[in-house]
């Protein structure tokens, strides 16, 4: 630690990561309730972050949400969210996805819930620890759940979704992509949330298309193998009719295309 600065709403600790020359700024924030006071705090934080280099980790209770989905049974005002999102965009901060829980605040009876706590980091930090994660810890001691930033990935999660070059020539691939990207989204959502939503929709739709394609492909391959086996048995006994020759050629075509697809995917 090289310096500390604090005021009523934030605590700024600056130093270097142990065993490294990388400069790290940790900013612990507790935002006020007033709209005007929050706006003044956002402006103050923008000025503060712009004056110091190094990694930035901004954490704590912002008393603000980014969109309507981050509140449950609570009043939502778009202007509050817009001010908060503008602060995040102006500084260029990124947010890690929250795991284990959707909300970090819950009233005593559990009816009102909000996502008030979060970690925001600058691109330098995010690029250095892209696999980091944020977890909300359940607690009965407070109405706010503690949140933990883990810089070491201990769980690789689900397998990444891949798109193969061979898919571009398969019917309906382009149609599925265009349709997914044209889905209507909430105009009040932040741009990064909208982009994430579009990519999620695209992934889901392509997985459905892929599964359907593989199912049909498997059925076609099974039928082609059966037809080819039957035709080859017939060939040993007699000459093939024109229809049987067509079946033979079509069966070989299906099996060849399947083999080429597997090769390109590999």
| pLDDT computed for residue 40 by the predictor | 93
User: Model confidence over 10-43: pLDDT tens digits?
Assistant: 999 999 988 888 999 999 999 998 888 999 999 9
Q: What is the pLDDT of residues 125-145, one digit of tens each?
A: 998 888 888 988 866 667 888
Phi, psi of 260 (to 5 degrees): -65, -40
- Residue 193 CA to residue 137 CA, distance in Å, equals 24
What is the C-alpha separation between 95 and 222, in angstroms, rounded? 47
Q: Tell me, what DSSP letter sits at residue 3?
A: E
Look at 89 and 157; give whichever has higher pLDDT. Answer: 89
Say which CATH architecture domain 3-150 belongs to: 4-Layer Sandwich (3.60)
The string of DSSP codes covering 22-62 is: -EEEEEEEE--SSHHHHHHHHHHHHHHHHH--SEEEEEEE-
Distance between start and end Cα atoms, the chain? 50
Q: Which of 19, 38, 20 is nearest to 29 (CA)?
A: 38
Nearest-angstrom CA–CA distance, 119 and 135: 10
Short-list 170, 162, 165, 151, CA closest to 217: 170
Q: pLDDT-based confidence at 50, cuts 50/70/90?
A: very high
Question: Phi/psi of residue 252, each to 5°?
Answer: -65, -35
Is the pLDDT assigned to residue 112 strictly greater than 90? no
Which residue is associated with the tokens 């310096």?
3
For 202-238, how does the pLDDT look when each residue is reduced to its tens digit (9 = 90+)?
888 888 888 787 677 677 777 887 777 777 667 656 7
Q: Give percent above pLDDT 90 in the chain.
A: 26
Q: What span, in angstroms and rounded, lies between the C-alpha atoms of 69 and 113?
A: 10
Q: How far is CA 188 from CA 67, 93, 102, 193, in A?
A: 8, 19, 20, 10
For the chain, give every domain's residue range. 3-150, 165-265
């Amino acid at each position: 630690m090289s310096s500390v600065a604090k005021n009523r709403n934030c605590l700024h600790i600056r130093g270097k990561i142990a065993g490294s020359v990388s400069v790290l700024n940790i900013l612990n924030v507790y935002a006020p309730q007033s709209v005007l006071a929050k706006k003044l705090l956002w402006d103050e934080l923008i000025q503060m972050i712009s004056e110091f280099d190094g990694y930035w980790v901004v954490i704590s209770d912002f008393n603000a949400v980014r969109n309507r989905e981050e509140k449950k049974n609570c009043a939502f005002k778009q202007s509050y969210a817009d001010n908060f999102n503008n602060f995040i965009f102006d500084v260029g901060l990124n947010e890690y996805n929250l795991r284990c829980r959707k909300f970090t605040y819950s009233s005593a009876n559990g009816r009102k819930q909000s996502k008030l706590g979060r970690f925001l980091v600058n691109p330098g930090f995010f690029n250095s620890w892209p696999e980091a994660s944020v977890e909300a810890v359940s607690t009965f001691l407070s109405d706010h759940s503690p949140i933990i930033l883990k810089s070491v990935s201990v769980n690789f999660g689900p397998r990444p979704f891949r798109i193969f070059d061979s898919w571009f020539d398969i019917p309906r691939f382009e149609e599925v992509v265009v349709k997914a990207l044209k889905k209507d989204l909430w105009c009040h959502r932040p741009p990064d949330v909208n982009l994430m939503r579009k990519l999620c929709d695209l992934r889901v739709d392509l997985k459905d298309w892929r599964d359907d394609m593989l199912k049909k492909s498997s059925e076609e391959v099974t039928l082609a193998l059966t037809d080819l086996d039957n035709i080859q048995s017939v060939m040993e006994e007699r000459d093939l009719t024109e229809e049987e020759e067509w079946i033979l050629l079509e069966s070989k075509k299906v099996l060849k295309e399947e083999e080429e697809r597997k090769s390109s995917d590999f």
